[in-house]
Amino acid sequence: MSKTIRPAPRQQEKIESFRHARGVDRMVHFEMGGTPASWRGVRQVIPDLAKEESRSACRGTHAMDEDDSHDLFGPEDGWGDHLEEE
């Protein structure tokens, strides 16, 4: 008895079958009273820590000297003193 070798499914066929299965799952989800928010689920994006560290290192630190102090604290004319908590 000879064996027949079945060819492996092509990549596009795999994708189409996954899409079809996902569509059926989605249809059942909404028929059971599901909401779009519950279908989307929780955000699963994980930030790239190496990229964030590189970005912060590239921008450097802000050196503050006496001339720059008014940028952070505003002019020293007393405006906004009534907003400070006592």
The series of mean pLDDT values per 10 residues for the chain, 86 residues long, is 76 90 93 91 81 78 55 58 64
Q: Give the Cβ contact number of residue 29 at 10 Å.
A: 14
Read off the amino acid at residue 70.
Answer: H
Residue 23 has a pLDDT of: 93
Q: What angle do CA 79, 81, 86 make, to 5 degrees?
A: 175
pLDDT at 27: 94
C-alpha to C-alpha distance for 58 and 52, rounded to whole angstroms: 10
